[in-house]
Structures are given as C-alpha cells and as structure tokens.
Amino acid sequence: MKSEDPIIDPDLPPGSQMAQYKLLRPVGAGGMGVVYLAWDVELERDAAVKVLKRDALGAAGTDVELLQQRFLREARSAAKLSHPNVAAVYQVGRHGTRRRARVFIAMEWLAGGSLADHLQHHIILDWRDATAAVRDAALGLAAAHGSGIIHRDIKPSNLMRTPTGQVKLVDFGLAREFAAVSDLTEAGSIMGTPTYMSPEQCRGEPATPLSDVYALGCTLFHLLASRPPFEAESVPGLLHQQINEPLPDIRRFAEDVPEALMAVLARACAKRPADRFATAAELADALSAALTNGAGRSTAIPATIKVAIPVDPPNNLPHETSSFVGREQELADIATALAAARLTTLLGPGGTGKTRLALQTARRSLRMFPAGVWMVELANIAAGVTPDAVARAVSSALGLKESSGRSAADILADHLRDADALLVIDNCEHLIETAAQLCADLLERCSKLRLLATSRQPLRIPGETALRVPSLTTPDTDDVPLAELEQLPSVRLFVERARAVRPGFALSQDNAPAIARICRRLDGIPLAIELAAARAKVLSAQQIAERLGDAFKLLTGGSRTLLPRQQTLRALIDWSYELLDDRARAALARMSVFAGGCTFEAAESILPDGTDAPDAPEVTLKPEADFVHDVSAAVPIDAADVLDLLCELVEHSLVIADERDGVVRYRMLETIRQYAAEKLAVSPIERRAVRTRHARFFEDFAVTSVQSIQGPTQAQTLAALAADHDNLRAAMDHSIQDRRVEIAVPLGAALAKYWNIRGMMAEGVRTVDAIMQLNPPENATLARLLDSGGVLAIYFGEPGRAAEWFERALALARAAGELPIVSSALNNLSTLAKEQGDLRKAYDLGQQALQVRLVLGDLALIAGSYNNIGNIARAMGRPQEARELLGKSMAIAIKRDDTRWIAYGHLNLGELEVEQGNADIALPLYTKCLEILKGLDEEWGMAYAEEGIARCLLAKGDLSGARSRLESALAVCRKFGDKANMADQLDFLAHVELQQGNPNDAMAHSAASTDLRLTINDRGGIATSLETRALLLAATDSARSAALLGCADQLRNALGMKLAEGKRIAHEQLLMTLKAAIGEATFAEQFGRGAATPAESLLQT
C-alpha cells in the first residue's frame, strides 16, 4: 500500500505501537475509523485494530465527545456478543496522552476478506454459497438481537469470511441496544447505508430488528444478482425506491435461483416489517431450508412466479408529508389498548399530536383490519348537531350513499355490522355528547368494529379505554450534553422541521442550549415546536428562544394545510377555552398563579374568593387583543366547588393530575399557563387578590416547614419544599413586586434557611437584597431574615455584606429580646471570622453563642455551637479539643435523630482525621456523609463529601480517582456560586495536576483559586495559596518560593492558624529542599523579605 493512500493516518504510520498491538498496515476505512492489520506482541497473534479517524475528530462542526461515544459504543455492542458468526473483540482502549488520546478497538483478524471484496473483484458466488454466507450472518444477527442489539448497517462489507469460508458480522458502529433508554443515533436522522436500508429507516423512523432482516435480504439479492436490488443516481432517489418500488425479479439477473429461495428473498425484503420474517433466526431457518429444498431442483424459469405480495385493505388514510418522530412507547401502548378494548380514546390538550399518533397507529394496523381502516375528521362539523349528522360524516368518509327513508346511522351500522374494521374518529371534544352517542350505537350493533378516537375529554361510554397522550420528552436544563440532547424526541422534531425550512440546519454545540430551552419552554408540545421551527427560516435558535416570552405572537403562521385553529398557538388553546363555562374559565385563570403545579390543599385555599381587600386601583388595559374583553377570571368561586372544577379542567386536558408517593399534584403545561395568566391579567384587582392569597399560603407553608428542617422528618420536609420551590419563588417575586413587606420578610427568612441547605447562595443573596430595598420595619422578623441571609452571603463570597447583615441582626435581636436569634447571629459572626482567618475572634464569638444557647437549653442550637467551635479548634491546630467538641455535637444529633447534622458530623470528623494524616480513618466518614446526603438530595453538601473523599484518594496515591471526585465537587460549587469552596477545590486540583506531571495546568488552577480568595478576602485561604504557589515554584524559582513561604508564615501567625499535622510534615520537607537549593543565608533573606511584603503583591507578580 502506498504511503499517500488516503486511509493512512499520519499520526499512526505502519510500525506504530498502540498498547500491545504493532500496526502493520492499514487495510480499510469505515464510517468512523481506520482499520489496521496488527500484531499482538503479547499473545503473538494477528489482530484487526480499528482507530477513530483523526480527520473525523478535527472536522468542522464535529462534536468530539459524541463521536468518541459512538465509536466506543461499537466496541461495547460487539464485546457483549460471543458467537461463531460475530467477530470477537479483544480489547478496547485509549492510546496517547490525556489530551490527545486516540480510542481504538482490537478484534479478531479475518483473513478471508469481506463479501464486498468478492463483489468488487467480480467473484461470482454460486447461489448455494451466497445463501450459506447470508445464513451464517443471520445466525450472528440472531445472537445480536437476542442480546438486545440492532446492527443497523448490514451490508456486504460488514460480512467477513474466514479462510474456511465461515461468515462473521463486523462493524457495530451504528448498533444500538433497542431496549435501552438512551441512543446516540436515534430516529429522526437517517443512519446506515441507503443501498441496504429498510423503508422505515429511509423515512427516519427508528430501526428495529426487522430492519436488519430487510438489509440482510438486500445483501442476499446483491450476492445473487451481482448488483443491489435498487440503484439510483442520487440518495433521495434511492430512498424513494426503497420505500415505494417493489423488489425486482431476481430471475432477471440470476436464472438459477430456486423458487424456494425466491420466496425467502421476497419475504425478507417485504416493505412492511410485519410481512417479513419475525426474527433473524427464522430467516436463518428459511435459508437452511432453501438450501435443502433447492438442491437438485430444476432451475428453469417458470412461466409464472407466484410470490404473495401483500395488498393493503381499503382505507382513506392520507400519505405522510413529513417524518414521524419518536412516540414508540405511546404507539405500543395504543396498540395494546386497541387489541384489548373496542374503543380507545386518545386524550390531551391541543397540539400534543393525538391526530398524528392515531394516524400512525392506523397505518401500522392496516393488516389487522381486512374490512378497512377509515379516518373521520369532525373538526369542521359545527357544535350542536344531531348524532345522525355525525353519522353522515362517517358515512361520507367510507363512501356510503344516502338512502331515502333510512337514517345515516342505520346505513352505517348495516355496512359495518360484520366488518372487521377500524374507524379513527378525530376531534370529538366539541361534539362530545353526539359523538359518544354514535360510538355507543355502532359498538352495540357492530360486533367486530374497533374505534380509535381523539378528544380533549373522554367519551365516557362503556368499554372505553382512555389514554393520555403526553408531550414529547424535553431537556431538564439548557446544558444537557449533546449526545443526550440529540436523543430527545422534542429536539429531534425541532431540528427536522427547522431543516425543512432552512436546509443544512443541524444541532450543534453553539445552538444546543437555545434548542433545549425552546423545547422545554414549549413543554414538548409537537405543534408548538413545529410552529417555532418554522421561524428558523429567518431567525436563529437563540433568537427564537429569546422571543418565547410572548409565545402567542411568535408561534403563528403554521402550514396552510392545517385547520385554522392549528395555525397559531393562541387559536389552538382558544378552541379548548371556549368549551368551558364561566366558573371553569375563572378557575383556569386563577390556576395560572401556581408555578410548577400545586396540591389540592393549595388550590382549595387560593382558587376560591378570599377576604383580601386589594388596595391597588383598577387599571384600564389597552385592548390589544380579544382576550382583554374576557372578564370570566372575576367570576366568584366557592371552596366547595374547587374539586369539581379541577376535575373538569383535567377532563378537558387543560390541567394535568400527577400522582407521586401518594400525593396528587395539579399542573398546567407552560403554554397553557401563559394563556391563562393573560386571562387573569385582564382584571388587575383580581390578579392582585389571587397573588396575595397564593403568597400568604406559601409563606405559612415555608415558615411551618423550616421548623421541621432539623430532626427526624427533615427528609420529608426538604422533599416538600423542593416540590413547591417554584411556587415559593413565585410567592416571593409577587410579594416584592406588590410591595407586600409583611409577607416578603418572613417568607424570605424561611427560604434563606432552605437555600442555604440547597446551596442556592446567589439566588438567596439577591432576594434578601431585594427585600431590603422595600425598607421593611425593624423587628425580630427582619433580624431573622438578615441572620439567615448573612450565611448565604458568606459562601457567595461577600463577607462585607455578611458582616453588615449579622451585626444588624444581632442589634435587632437584642433589642427585641430574641435570644435564639442573638445566639445565631453570634455563631454566624464566629463562622465569618473563621472563614476570614481570624481564629481567635472566631473562637471567642463561638463561645459567646454557646453560653447563650446553654441558657436556652436548645439541644439543636447547642449541637451547632459545638460543631462550630470544634472546627475552629481544628483550624487552630488543637485536634484533641476539636475531636471532643465534634463528638459532643454528633452525640446530640444522634439523640435527636437529626439526619442532616449526623451527616455533617461525619464530614467534620473526616476533615479532622485527614488533616492529621489519617486517610484510612477519614475515608469511611466521608463516604457515610455522602450516603446520608444523597438520601436528602442535598447536592451542595454532597460536594463537600466528594472533596473529602478526593483528599483521601490523593493521600492513597489514586490520582485519577481524586481528580474525578474533585471535578465533580467543583462543578457543583460552580453551579451554586460557592466561591469559597471553589477556591479550595481549585487549589487542591493544582496539587493533583502537579503530581500527575502537569505543572502548567497546576499553576493555572492555583492562579484561579488565588483570584477567588483575594476577591472574597479569605485571609486563611490566601495563606494556603501562598504555600501552594511556593510548592509549584520550588523547582524553577527557589528564591521566590522562599519569599512566598515567609509571607504565608507571617499571615498564619497573625491569624493564629497552625498547619495541621498532615500538612506540617510536607511543609518542613519543602523548607529543607529550598534551603539545600539556595543555601541557608539566601533562604533566610528571601523568607524575611516575604514576611515583610503584602500577600497581594507577592501573588500578583
């Protein structure tokens, strides 16, 4: 092979070594990788080594992580299989440095070449050889399917022969596990080789095991005819043939093919999956039978070849004009229901895809109903008509003629009396009574008839199975990895429809966050997503996402082929809204005040008219839209009516009832909530009254809940607060906007405690600051707010604000005689002093707080003081005192069954032990802490535990494990804006990088850590930064390293901070190293210079 051959990888020329494999020569290239013949130097055998292409990694727009995941998935897929007809995988690995690692797969070397090689070199296979080869492949395929793996790219080049003629499957590069939730190459993007691709794959539908059967049939045709079954000048033309053209007569190309094999070929290549062999194993059996039955038979061409060609039953189903994305589970559920019940009704709000699902089900069910499948659209029939008028619409769809003297219902019933047929009746909601009456009559008179209806509410007749149609799955956040994002049906739908109006549109790292936000904001409603994607013709994804604040203006201009009510998002919801009475409309408008749903108790407290006396003047709105004139939001509602009204809204698919852990919550899709909020906004007085009732309810809920946040029920309390966190935020926002200080202050004080536990520092500080802008009255409640807010400010990196709030809280609490708040403010001032490195002040304040708490006799507060003073003693280098105090705190927590404090007790004891060099003792303490906090879903605290585990792993020499844990902790602290702990973790990461031989990366992490510590004025942390920088410079600039240590020493002495035992030994070793490098005299000079220089100056030079 010449060196200029394009498949040679410049980084891996022949003779290169990759792990234990010496690369001898490249032998081919696949979709993702270059394949080499290699020699296994350890086991002394030939091997095929496939390496991910370098040019694929470097291609513009390529997502490296996604490509590597696809490549590794091939290895994982193939490695799961152990079968004589599947090539064996020996090893999967990475070669090279961490940043330039190349992924490779080592597998069995098959010296006989591929069946594509035979075709390329015009080696004509006898029909028996071809049949035996494909039978072998079918056996291997059956093993793959049995392990839950679909190959998805069966073709001659992926069928390799051994020197003995045995065929083995290779290249699982597009394989997927068809039972798995995740899939990197799911439907919606056509993947595979079009020449052998099944019709369903050509349409962009998900591949199934029967897609592999079809591809194997096409491969057999190619081997027999020396040409593929379909050929075209373009890929679109080829896809069209695969979908629509019948299989050519094989006898035109190979006269000796026996009839038995022709029948096998026709069935394997059937257009409908249901008409193919049910499994690859069945295909293998049929091929074996053809080999037996075909032997010795005449091969003359018969006058007529009788091959059964499936014919569709009569139907009026429209042809698909766009691909159908996702919904495999829903289709399966509908098929199950349709088989078991004679009436299946698909329920859901407008735009969720009920009609498309019904049509797709009907298409897939054609062969089940020999008398026909008929679609009946009721949307254009006016409300209030008789059942016979609906019957005429159904009769018209079936092409039945009217007869004088007979009702349309009778004609229809007579026609369908013994017919094994399916009627799809679409959009029943505005004719619910008449549609229900006709359906009941037909089911009673037509024993074999099945009905599939779509509606926004059930028909409520005997024998009905109602299925809720959910929205498409959406991303939880904007930063979902690209590999996961492209699997989601909502994202695939947006990308496909956007590509239809802007060719070349694709999901990328740049537009992924915006597309995720679009799909989430639109609740995964297919029609809304399609309307948004239509805007991609003139707007970027980011621009579309930015305009979703007024989705009703943006989402207009749907396809002209849609019904008028489906051409805009507003018209879609208007259709449902107009079916409600005034009380239900009022309830819907008031439900918009809830964010993230609500319990029945919340709805019962907020939906009915209250006794609030709104003090806001009525505001006249400019009538910019028709909805302004709708005053139904102000219609009175009684508490006794709430349950019935909720049930009505659920039945109309405007509200969703979800049950979890025995609790039912009611929620609206965001688009419907936005619509309902517009209705509520028509009356500002009504809106203010509803918002006030909402805020007061959740203020009481928060204040009551935080009283149980410590103790045996804390897990349930935290879960309840998390479930209604969006409502709590909304209540806070409304209280601030409406200047309801009497609600905002106690609600903020309660929420600050919750935000502290959840690590939501930035949100908490912003909220407390916004409340303070309202100039609240100075009282004990305000003291509680400032005290709790100060804790958030410490970890948010604003020590000045924290000190101000704590001091003010202390003064207010003393004036009000509120000793619990006094003790808390003192304890928090102690924590602040410790964070700033003033350990003597911290210790004194901690003792003052403890004395107040001992007087109060509150065990929970006393445990908190013991914990705080114990941590200060640890930082002061007094381990015995620290161990005693932390032990007392833990004992009280255990006595009170306070799970959260038990977790932090383990954490703090772990800190003590790891600082003393006892990593083996610390590791199980950190691990237990992590286990408990996982149960409480306390992500911020889990980051502390992960960091502690990382310290233990580093002490044990497990650098990669330490890095992994540390990066996980750092990501959480970045998420919550915890600057103090981010600084600690970056400093720690610098030590890990140094030990891994990456001094430049270590210096970068140290600099980032130092910047944070200087920003938040963490004096103790700055001393640590000086010591870390000294260690990093010891080998290259010993004099400066000595100066940095002198500055750190002076700062530690000023703060009263001693080095822990575990750090002291390493510190002394560094001192000796520097003295040996530059001499005692120079060391002393530089050490003294550093002690006299401000830390900021040394760190910034």
Task: Report yes or no: 371 and 419 within 8 Å, Cβ to Cβ.
Answer: yes
Q: At residue 234, what is the residue type?
A: S
Q: How far is residue 506's CA from residue 494's CA, in Å, rounded to a whole number?
A: 10
Whole-number Å distance between alpha carbons of 1037 and 1078? 10
- What pLDDT does residue 626 have? 40
Residue 564 to residue 567: CA distance in whole angstroms: 5
Contact 946, 984 (CB under 8 A): no
Q: What is the pLDDT of residue 553?
A: 61
Angle at 560 between CA 557 and CA 563, to 5 degrees: 95
Paired strand residues for 92: 105
Give the separation between CA 607 and CA 666, rounded to whole angstroms: 13
Among the listed residues 990, 986, 996, 931, the one whose alpha carbon sits nearest the alpha carbon of residue 959: 996
Domain ranges of the chain: 17-107, 115-294, 328-341+348-446+456-468, 482-571, 580-738, 898-963
Residue of 270, 216, 265 whose CA lies nearest to 245: 270
Q: Which of 683, 671, 681 is nearest to 552 (CA)?
A: 671
Q: DSSP string spanning 622-681?
A: P--SGGGG--GGGS---GGGHHHHHHHHHHTTSSEEEEETTEEEEE--HHHHHHHHHHHH
User: Who's near 894: CB < 8 A, 6+ residues apart?
Assistant: 902
Structure token digits, residue 443:
């089911």
Burial zone of 813 (CB within 10 Å; 0-12 exposed, 13-18 middle, 19+ buried): buried
**Following DSSP, what letter does each residue of 815-858 receive, concatenated?**
HHT-HHHHHHHHHHHHHHHHHTT-HHHHHHHHHHHHHHHHHHT-
**Superfamily of domain 17-107 in the CATH hierarchy:** Phosphorylase Kinase; domain 1 (3.30.200.20)
**What pLDDT score was predicted for residue 311?**
54
Residue 1058 contacts residue 839 (beta carbons within 8 Å):
no
Q: Cα dist. 815→402, 643, 780, 810 in Å? A: 90, 48, 8, 9
Other Cβ atoms closer than 10 A to 524: 24
Give me the catalytic one of 153, 724, 787, 1049: 153
CATH topology of domain 898-963: 1.25.40
Helical spans, DSSP H, in 540-610:
541-546, 551-554, 569-577, 582-591, 600-606
1011 is known as an active-site residue? no
Cβ-Cβ contacts under 8 Å for 870 (sequence gap 6 or more) = 881, 882, 883, 884, 885, 886, 888, 889, 908
- CA-closest candidate to residue 597, choices 649, 538, 519: 649
For each successive 10 residues of the chain (1101 residues), what is the average pLDDT? 47 81 80 80 84 57 54 59 82 67 82 82 81 93 84 88 84 48 36 81 83 96 92 78 87 87 94 90 90 53 33 76 77 84 89 87 83 85 77 83 79 89 89 89 91 91 90 86 85 88 87 91 85 84 80 55 52 77 92 91 89 42 40 74 90 82 83 85 89 94 86 78 90 92 95 86 90 95 95 84 95 95 96 85 95 94 94 90 94 90 92 89 94 87 91 90 89 82 90 88 90 83 90 91 92 76 79 91 93 86 62
Q: Among candidates 346, 130, 123, 326, which has minimal Cα distance to 219?
A: 130
**H-run or E-run covering 74:** helix 64-79
Is the four-CA dihedral 575, 578, 583, 586 of positive or negative sign? positive
The per-residue pLDDT for 239 is 80
Q: How far apart are CA 1064 and CA 256, in angstroms?
A: 88
Instruction: Give the fold, CATH level 3, of 580-738.
Output: Arc Repressor Mutant, subunit A (1.10.10)
Number of residues that make up the chain: 1101
**Tokens representing residue 705 in the block:** 């809940």
SS3 504: coil
Beta bridge partner(s), residue 102 = 95
SS3 964: helix
Rounded to a whole number of angstroms, the CA Rg of the chain reads 36
- Rounded to an integer, what distance in angstroms lies between the CA atom of residue 240 and that of residue 234? 10
Give the whole-angstrom CA distance, residue 765 versus residue 798. Answer: 9
At the topology level of CATH, where does 115-294 sit?
Answer: Transferase(Phosphotransferase); domain 1 (1.10.510)
Looking up tokens 């035109």 gives 252
Question: Distance between CA atoms of 221 and 17, rounded to whole angstroms?
Answer: 41
Is 50 marked as a binding-site residue? yes
Residues 380, 400: Cα–Cα separation, whole Å = 19
Alpha-helix residue ranges (DSSP H) falling in 158-302 = 199-202, 209-225, 235-244, 259-268, 280-294
Cβ–Cβ contacts within 10 Å for residue 1067, how many? 17
N- to C-terminal Cα separation, the chain: 57
How would you class 893 by CB atoms within 10 Å of its CB: exposed for 0-12, middle for 13-18, buried for 19 or more?
A: buried
Beta carbons of 635 and 585 less than 8 angstroms apart: yes
Distance (Å, rounded) from C-alpha 563 to C-alpha 1092?
Answer: 81
The candidate with the shortest Cα–Cα distance to 971, out of 947, 996, 948, 951, is: 947
CA–CA gap between residue 642 and residue 1047 (Å, rounded): 69
